[in-house]
């Protein structure tokens, strides 16, 4: 496949393309310099490099690795066929890449975790079983959970208590399987009506659940909109953060296109010796190959600390 063959191009800002491993051209150009891995485990999504790497998802993963990425994520992993999940996991294991959180429960249109356990426990436990099966096939360490909408008739503190109780039995099952739930607070401007919106709120819930398998995914795009104060909230919630999502604001594009100082945030995480995944959950500011190149260049620039 011609689109798999990329020579080191010496692009500005360090966005360097190299031949994909195993290609004939890669063998011919074995003297081409290897791209240095990023300091942190930034995780592009499947599909973000379609123009440069082609439609084949396994070529896309190899391309990510060749550009220095040591993680990837796929929100829709649980919905993929079992054999495809296993192949993705096998390739990531071969390349020594981590797999970021997959979406396990994120229905924005209905009340769920805020309801009394007696009303929703069976449904939630059925979902939990699916998460665990995906974990067994892929080794994915984190499953993303959005606790759904809030109830307009029930006092807020009762809803909080229900969320905590519902998460307790989910976390217990996940802990036995070696899987960690990561709760995602989302901003109320893009997603009005959801129960979980802020980092302190998520931290309070995790503290009450009191299980190492119940943590937070800190989506920096959402939290910049909702409350700002990104680095102090990282520090205050540190013991309960399992993963990060990245996206600049406004626009939810690559770092450097908005108001968030991602270089300082990444430097801070590196200083704290963060070894987890940072999912690049955003679009590109340009279309086509130029946009994909800009994506790589943006992370090289933000990782230069």
Query: Active-site residues: which are they?
Result: 184, 281
- Is residue 127 within 8 A of residue 144, CB to CB? The reply is no
Q: Single out the residue of 286, 282, 284 nearest to residue 45, CA to CA.
A: 282
Structure tokens at 155: 């006092």
Structure tokens at 181: 């739930």
What is the rounded distance in angstroms from the CA atom of residue 6 to the CA atom of residue 25? Answer: 8
Q: Which residues are CB-neighbours of 19 under 8 A, at least 6 positions away?
A: 5, 6, 7, 25, 26, 29, 32, 66
- Is residue 12 within 8 A of residue 25, CB to CB? The reply is no
- Is residue 146 within 8 A of residue 196, CB to CB? The reply is yes
What is the rounded distance in angstroms from the CA atom of residue 298 to the CA atom of residue 15? Answer: 8
Phi/psi of residue 103, each to 5°?
Answer: -80, 125
- Is residue 215 within 8 A of residue 180, CB to CB? The reply is yes
What is the rounded distance in angstroms from the CA atom of residue 48 to the CA atom of residue 295? Answer: 9
């Amino acid at each position: 496949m011609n689109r798999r063959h990329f020579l080191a191009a010496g692009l500005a800002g360090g966005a360097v393309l190299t031949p994909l491993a195993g290609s004939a051209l890669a063998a011919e150009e074995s003297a081409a310099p290897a791209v240095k891995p990023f300091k942190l485990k930034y995780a592009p999504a499947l599909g973000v490099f379609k123009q440069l790497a082609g439609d084949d998802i396994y070529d896309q993963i190899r391309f990510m690795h060749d550009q220095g990425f040591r993680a990837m994520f796929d929100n829709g992993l649980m919905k993929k066929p079992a054999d495809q999940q296993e192949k993705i996991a096998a390739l990531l294991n071969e390349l020594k890449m981590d797999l970021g959180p997959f979406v396990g429960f994120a229905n924005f249109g209905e009340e769920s975790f805020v309801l009394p356990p007696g009303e929703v426990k069976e449904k939630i436990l059925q979902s939990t079983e699916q998460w665990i099966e995906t974990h067994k096939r892929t080794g994915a360490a984190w499953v993303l959970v959005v606790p759904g909408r809030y109830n307009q008739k029930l006092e807020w503190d009762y809803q909080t208590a229900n969320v905590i109780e519902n998460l307790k039995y989910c976390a217990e099952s996940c802990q036995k399987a070696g899987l960690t739930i990561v709760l995602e607070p989302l901003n109320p401007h893009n997603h009005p009506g959801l129960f979980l919106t802020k980092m302190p709120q998520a931290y309070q819930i995790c503290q009450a659940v009191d299980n190492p398998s119940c943590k937070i995914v800190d989506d920096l795009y959402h939290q910049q909109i909702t409350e700002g104060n990104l680095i102090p909230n990282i520090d205050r919630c540190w013991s309960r953060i399992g993963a990060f999502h990245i996206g600049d604001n406004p626009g939810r594009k690559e770092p450097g296109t908005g108001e968030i100082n991602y270089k300082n945030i990444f430097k801070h995480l590196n200083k704290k010796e963060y070894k987890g995944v940072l999912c690049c959950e955003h679009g590109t500011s340009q279309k086509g190959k130029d946009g994909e190149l800009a994506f790589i260049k943006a992370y090289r620039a933000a990782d230069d600390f």
